[in-house]
Amino acid sequence: MTENSNKNAIVATVTSGKGGVGKTFFTVNLAASLAAKGRKVLVVDCDLGLANVDIMLGIHPRLTLRDILFGSAPAEDVILSTKAGFDLLPACSGVREMAQPLLEKIQTVKTLLQSLEGYDVMLLDTGAGIAETVLQFNLLAPRNIIVLNRELTSITDSYAMMKVMHQIFGRDTFSLVVNAVADEREGERIFHHVDGICRRFLGFGTDYLGLIFRDEAVPKSILRQEPLVLAGPGSKTAACFDRIADAVCRWGTPLPRVEPPPGPERCARGILH
């Protein structure tokens, strides 16, 4: 998103290879941390068909992205302010047409985000994996934050996600967040492992955005539908988000160019070749 009215906004997806690694938890808490630092933040729930951000916040949206894409709702009627200090563009759950949206609808989301003014940061929480929809959402943002954890499948699937994004779209700017670690050493070890594989087999290095500790307060905060950084602002885990929020603020501008939509050659090749 370059030529837009919000060209100074930091725009990033929060994505992963394997599912269930903490993307939505991370997005909500990073957004709350950034908002607490005075940044105007928009979270966009791009997990179309299985939306979760509203659930983590205990919100019941009347209108969702679906009403913009398939109806005529204006964005300002759909975007909600949350108790966590950031705005949310919610998606909906259990609607098949939203789970497999046409690529043109994703371009509509791009145009919509370009038209929104006044945000310092936009975080797009995607679904997991290398399905076409997820890849296309990742292309909307110049920065892709990959969340992973210590599980072997999470590590290999993170690599697969970066490989596909690199081989098809030429992406080589990924920021890694290692979630649910026991200590700093574990976070660094997992980062260096994945980073080393990328350097060796893909020819580029990754950025270490940071780690989040494994914390039993996380599932409790999700059950209470309250961001952990608000419930326990002095906790070790909240400090992780504080550090990552500072790093995100340092990203600043200008934004790199976004790749054009896929051409016919790519469609013919399919995404896995």
- Stretch near ligand ATP under the rule CB under 6 A, chosen from 20-28, 105-113, 192-200, 259-267: 20-28
Q: Residues 45, 13: contact at Cβ < 8 Å?
A: no
**Residue 75: Cβ-neighbour burial (10 angstroms; 0-12, 13-18, 19+):** middle
24 binds ligand ATP (CB under 6 A): yes
131 binds ligand ATP (CB under 6 A): no
Query: Smallest distance from the beta carbon of 111 to ligand ATP, in angstroms?
Result: 25
Task: Considering the complex, state which of residue 168 and residue 240 has its C-beta at the smaller distance from ligand ATP.
Answer: 240
In angstroms, the CA 174 to CA 162 distance is 8
| Omega of the bond leading into 261 within 30 degrees of 0 (cis) | no
Q: Residues 131, 251: contact at Cβ < 8 Å?
A: no
Mask: binding to ligand ATP, 153-192, rule CB under 6 A, as x and -? --------------------------xx------------
16 binds ligand ATP (CB under 6 A): yes
> What DSSP string runs through 100-125?
S--HHHHHHHHHHHHH--S-SEEEEE
- Residue 17 binding target from ligand ATP, Mg ion, none, CB below 5 to 8 Å by type: none
Q: Candidates 88, 146, 218, 238: give the one binding ligand ATP (CB under 6 A).
A: 218
Q: Could you give the maximum distance between any two Cα atoms of the chain, in Å?
A: 52
In angstroms, the CA 78 to CA 133 distance is 21
Query: Smallest distance from the beta carbon of 251 to ligand ATP, in angstroms?
Result: 22
Residues in contact with ligand ATP by the rule CB under 6 A: 16, 19-25, 47, 52, 127-128, 179-180, 212, 214-215, 218-219, 222
